[in-house]
Amino acid sequence: MVNQVVKAVKALKKGWIIAYPTDTAYGLGADPSNKKAVLKIFKIKGRGKEKCLPLIVANLAMVKKYGFLKGKALSLARKHWPGPLTLVVKATPLSKRIFSKHTLKNGKIAIRVPKSPLSRRISSLLKMLIVSTSANLSKRPLCFSKKEIEQQFKVRKFKPDYILNVGRLKKSKPSTIIEIKKGKINILRQGAIKIR
């Protein structure tokens, strides 16, 4: 497994797209500072570029380098991370400078610390956040195994460059996505974590 993680990190550094296990399903990963790699994710998924791509990161300390986390957002992060909760927060000047515009929307990023130790390890070794979106074609079912990924993409021109295979994942709901507006919780997607 260690060898696969190292290969995944090397692939990301080359600008490749990886498919890797997260705490919800297999995801597609890319280096968010590599604009060509980020654009390739849209080609792989077969969807328009208007949707902002979420990010995952190794730990809370790393988050603070790229997003402003305070108040209720910080409390929710401390309570639910690592876990399937994505927070939409204001991006730091560093994020705005180095990340592809497709990971930013209105000066904000969608970010989480996943429960999956493998995902966190990849981010930690890369020393960077990872673009993380589900490893499936747009409007098709989520993929929970390498076989499902290969089946969905077998006739596609664009597909993941490297699959980090850990076998079949347990089916799970996607992450809950929230944004704090004027001190109130705004649920953008109700997922694995119930927030009221």
pLDDT band, residue 2 (cuts 50/70/90): confident
- More confident of the two residues 68 and 24: 68
Kindly tell me if the per-residue pLDDT of 158 is higher than 80: yes
- pLDDT recorded at residue 100: 86
pLDDT band, residue 124 (cuts 50/70/90): very high
- Looking at the chain, the whole-number percentage of residues with pLDDT higher than 70 is 99
Kindly tell me if the per-residue pLDDT of 76 is higher than 90: yes
CA distances from 49 to 30, 103, 106, 184 (A): 15, 10, 15, 29
The domain spans of the chain are 2-189
Model pTM score: 0.92
Give the domain 2-189 fold: DHBP synthase (3.90.870)
Kindly tell me if the per-residue pLDDT of 196 is higher than 80: no
pLDDT band, residue 50 (cuts 50/70/90): confident
Q: Which of 37, 19, 39 is nearest to 164 (CA)?
A: 19
Answer whether 180's CB lies under 8 Å from 73's CB: yes
